Structures are given as C-alpha cells and as structure tokens.
Amino acid sequence: MKDIVEKILREEERAGKILQDAKEEADHIVKDAKKEKETIISQAINEADDFSCKQKEELEKKFLSEKEKVLKETKNETLAIRDRKEKDVSEISRKVLSQIITIKN
C-alpha cells in the first residue's frame, strides 16, 4: 500500500511539474504574442504615417501645380485684356485727334 501511495505522490508531483511547465510556456507564448502585436501595430502606424505624408506631399504638389496653371492663365487673360484696351485707347485717341484736326481745319 505504501508503494501505491508513493507512486501516486510521484505521479502528482510529475503532473504538477508538467502543469507548471505548461503554465510557464503559455506565459511565454502570451508574452511573445503581445510583443508581436505591439510590433505589428507600430509597423501599421508607421506605414499609415508614411502613406499620409506621401499623400499630403502629392496633394500639395498637385495643388501648387494647379495654382501655377491658374495664375499663368489669369496672367495671360489679363495681358490679353490690357492689350485689347490699349488698342482700343489708341484707336479712340487716334479718332479723337483726327476729329480735333478736322474741326480746326
């Protein structure tokens, strides 16, 4: 009977050791999983930041390009209007001068 009790105690001790090893391994797996989760989250955040920075730069370039295009078109339109008005003023001045000369004669 004593042998049976000792055998049971050894089995309980062995089972306790197996259980303790399993708990330690589970803790280690959980710890590694948490580290991996943090790494993945950090990488995702960094990639999102990089992507948003690139998008911002591309949009700024596009905006500046469109702004320059609009400014150039506006400048060209303004110069064309000015040229037309200068021609109109010159034509009107010529007609007025011609009328003045005609009236004096």
Q: What distance in Å separates the CA atoms of residue 71 and residue 64, rounded to the nearest whole number?
A: 10
**52: helix, strand or coil:** helix
pLDDT in tens, 19-70: 999 999 999 999 999 999 999 999 999 999 999 999 999 999 999 999 999 9
Average model confidence (pLDDT) across the chain: 90
pLDDT score, position 105:
56
Q: What distance in Å separates the CA atoms of residue 76 and residue 78, rounded to the nearest whole number?
A: 5
| Rounded (10°) CA dihedral 81, 85, 86, 90 | 160
DSSP class of residue 104 equals H
**Cβ-defined contacts of 77-84 (< 8 Å, 24+):** none
Between these two residues, 98 and 34, which has the higher pLDDT value? 34
